[in-house]
């Protein structure tokens, strides 16, 4: 079983106004950064949000009038609460599916260290 070191989770919706985050009907980016500086991203969609997007697309004509929908790095989830997102990430790590569900992004540059807890990265000790 792969061992995951310390990690930091950034959830896009935590930077939104509280009134704009409907945990039952939303889609949001999640970035997981590990202490080895690797960075991974996925977009979490609620099942209800997929239905809402289809309804909107039927009205606007997008995605062939709601005929299809796609998003890269998509993870479907029942709600987008912090607790649920953490639970899904932990499960994906435990089942060794994390690197399949998330997409690797360029590693964190040292100039971005200030965005993370002090001494978070292995090479900053």
pTM: 0.89
Sequence ranges of the domains in the chain: 7-109
Distance CA 108, CA 106 (A): 7
Q: Residue 23 corresponds to which tokens in the numbers above?
A: 């945990």
Q: Report the candidate in 80, 111, 125, 108 with the shortest Cα–Cα distance to residue 7.
A: 108
Q: Give the tens place of pLDDT for each residue, 78-104.
A: 999 999 999 999 999 999 999 999 999
Range 105-125 average pLDDT: 89
């Amino acid at each position: 079983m792969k061992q995951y070191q310390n990690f930091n989770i950034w959830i896009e919706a935590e930077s939104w106004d509280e009134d704009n985050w409907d945990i039952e009907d939303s889609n949001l980016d999640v970035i997981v950064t590990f202490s080895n500086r690797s960075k991974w991203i996925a977009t979490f969609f609620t099942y209800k949000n997929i239905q809402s997007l289809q309804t909107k697309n039927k009205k606007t004509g997008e995605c062939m009038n709601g005929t299809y929908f796609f998003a890269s790095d998509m993870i479907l989830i029942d709600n987008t609460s912090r607790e649920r997102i953490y639970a899904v990430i932990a499960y994906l790590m435990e089942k060794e599916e994390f690197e399949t569900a998330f997409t690797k992004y360029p590693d964190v540059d040292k100039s971005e260290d200030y965005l993370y807890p002090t001494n978070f990265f292995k090479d900053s000790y």
